[in-house]
Amino acid sequence: MTDPRSSPNRATLWGRVLVDELASGGLEAVCIAPGSRSTPLTVAFAEHPDVDVYSHLDERSAAFFALGRARRTGEPTALVCTSGTAAANFHPAVLEADQARVPLLVLTADRPAELRDSGANQTIDQVKLYGDAVRWFAELPEPEADERKVRSLRTTAARALSETGGSELGPVHLNCPFRKPLEPIDVPDAVPESFAETTAARGRDGPFVDTEQGTVGLETESARSIATALAEADRPLLVAGPADPADLQHVDRERVVSLAERIGAPVLADPLSGLRFGSHVERGGPIYGGYDVYAGELPDPDVVLRFGASPTSKSLRHALRDADARQFVVDPAGAWREATFTATDLIAARPESVVDGVLEALEGETETDDDWRARFDEAERSHWDLRDEARTDLADDPFEGAVLASVFERAPDPTTVFVSNSMPIRDADRFGRPRDAELTVLANRGASGIDGITSTALGAGSATGEDEPLVLVTGDLAFYHDSNGLLAIDRCDVDATIVLLDNDGGGIFHKLPIEEFDPPFTDQFKTPHSLEFDRLADLYDLEFDAVSPAEFADAYERSLETDGTQVLSVSFDAEASHRRRETLERAVIDGIESEFEE
């Protein structure tokens, strides 16, 4: 019986009204970690027919799972925990949600206010626990069957949901104090019969407050000015950085391609931009993916139009910095995400309105330097050819980039690919070739931690259709870090192909100068752990397949055709792998340079 009007006590009423209103507002999923104080919320969610409940035992993993689901759908996912340190375990994912703009609704149960700082058990100060990382914080009043209070609760629910989805999507935190009884136990007169007939108790048909979020569109005048700058550019460039979840859902990729073609600009498409893979991609088209290697070697652009967050590629960021071109940074939230401080124009408007506005404003023919696009074509072809050459002699000289190349090349259409931070995302950026297939590529690039990777991937997988496989590409440190997240495979019924690049420690440190200082390099940076991950797979009843780099591509295809979750573990020597990356980079750059000289 989920009708709030027939609630046996105040806490139950409160939980039911809140959940009822969130569901009416469109909330479809919640991740719950078990606890006592959160009982009214858990009970209400569990009995609500329209909200999928995912139960997790580790709050940190729960939060990343919710993050992944919200990242994939662009829609808010809720999170519930009990009072105390449980809430602090959400903190890493809340920070990622803030910076990656992922709509997350955090509901922390709490003990009543008078127990704060009283020495009471399992009670911490949860007020503003996540500081400035949330879009909105509110503390609910104590449950009571009072019309004004319940109206306020319904309004707060609508508002909380709405605040996750404003011009800058992100996390919202509601702290929810409850007094005993927490369970749906009858407390005579707690919810008077007269209350049942109030609007507050009944709610409305649909959300109590229907919310519409306006979008930030570009003024015609502004569009004209950008169009003029692009039309007059000799070497115009479009850069698509990691897309916010909101944009990933809404951007019209064909329009971006049209704009690029119209002004003669290459589109440098981050693997997380939503533009590197998809039906808009064709050979000879304006989408480029190999720039991480060659960005610094080509002529400088003079006008840049940049979408999304700061690009994954450091060499691209540096090339943009050094070009010191006129650089338009488009960000609907107006958030100055440009850490080299060379941008000249901030455009606070939705990417699609900028693309449409500029396309409309463009008049007549535009002209660029003769070989401007051709130079990119040449560099791009050279890069992918050399990459493919390198892959042919894998057995002699394996490197991690070859695995990432196969991951993207062999993934079915459609696939969701979640890529860990540290080396995998860099290799995805460098070795994932643009392709005419719907690959949704995701990563935690808001704060770029290696925590919660498995859970975020599984959360994303929980939201994809039956015919869309989930691939997770992770390093061994990230895989260890969120080992608890593997429990969700069974509990939340998500399957994945997990590609484990195992180089026994922090391979990324080979890229850094600390490599030359050993000690402390091995003990404190590379930190080999010798974990045998087949045993971890065993704990979670997963199939484990140790494959050589040469065998990987076939094993990967087989796994994608197979039900259940397989861990494909490929072992590498991090140092050798890194040296191979450097060699390949050198070869591409040499090729470009020698062409320059001709």
The set of residues, in sequence order, having a beta carbon less than 8 Å from that of 16 and lying 6+ positions away, is 2, 3, 4, 7, 40, 44
- Which one, 292 or 380, has the nearer CB to its own copies? 292
CB nearer to its own copies: pick between 163 and 451: 451
Q: Which is nearer to its own copies, 82 or 415 (CB)?
A: 82
**Rounded least distance, CB 306 to its own copies, Å:** 11
Least distance (Å) between residue 421 CB and its own copies = 8
Q: How far is the CB of 258 from its own copies (least distance, A)?
A: 27
Token pair for residue 548?
């050589």
Shorter beta-carbon distance to its own copies: residue 184 or 289: 184
* Pick 352 or 451: Cβ nearer its own copies: 451
Residue nearer to its own copies on the CB measure, 261 or 528: 528
Separation of alpha carbons 278 and 307, rounded Å:
17
Quote the CA–CA distance of 32 and 63 in Å, as a whole number.
9
Residues β-bridged to residue 53: 30
3-state secondary structure of 204: strand
Residue in the block written with tokens 């780099």 = 549
Which one, 77 or 382, has the nearer CB to its own copies?
77
Q: Considering the complex, what minimum distance in angstroms separates the CB of residue 87 from its own copies?
A: 9
81 vs 260 by CB, closer to its own copies: 81
Distances (CA, A) of 428 to 309, 374, 405: 17, 24, 7
Sheet arrangement for strand 303-307: 287-288, 267-269, 236-240, 303-307, 326-330, 345-347
Which residue lies nearer to its own copies by CB, 335 or 546?
335
* DSSP secondary structure letters along 102-139: --EEEEEEE--GGGTTTT-TT----TTTTGGGSSEEEE
Identify which of 455, 442, 463 has the alpha carbon closest to the alpha carbon of residue 61.
Answer: 455
List beta partners, residue 571: 502
CA contacts within 13 A on the Cβ side of 133: 24
For residue 414, say if its preceding peptide bond is cis, omega within 30 degrees of 0.
yes
Which CB sits closer to its own copies, 507 or 591?
507
Q: How far is the CB of 36 from its own copies (least distance, A)?
A: 6
Cβ(569)–Cβ(534) below 8 Å: yes
Q: How far apart are CA 255 and CA 524, in angstroms?
A: 49
Element (H, E) at 390: helix 372-392
Strand partners, 239: 268, 306
Instruction: State in angstroms the smallest separation of the CB of 96 from its own copies.
Output: 6
Distance in Å, CB of 110 to its own copies, minimum: 13
Min dist. Cβ of residue 176 to its own copies (A) = 16
Nearer residue to its own copies within complex by CB, 120 or 374:
120
| CB closer to its own copies out of 200 and 492 | 492
Tally Cβ neighbours within 10 Å of residue 163: 23
Smallest gap from residue 512 Cβ to its own copies (A): 6
Q: Which DSSP category does 408 fall into?
A: H
In the complex, what is the shortest distance from the CB of residue 250 to its own copies, in angstroms, rounded to a whole number?
21
219 burial (CB, 10 Å; 0-12 / 13-18 / 19+) is: exposed
The nearest distance, CB 432 to its own copies, in angstroms, is: 19
Q: Which two tokens stand for residue 342?
A: 């060379």
Name the minimum Å distance from CB 529 to its own copies.
Answer: 6
Question: In which element (H, E) is residue 199 found?
Answer: helix 199-202
Task: Assess contact for 525 and 513: CB atoms under 8 A.
Answer: no
Look up residue 561 and give its two tokens: 């055709």
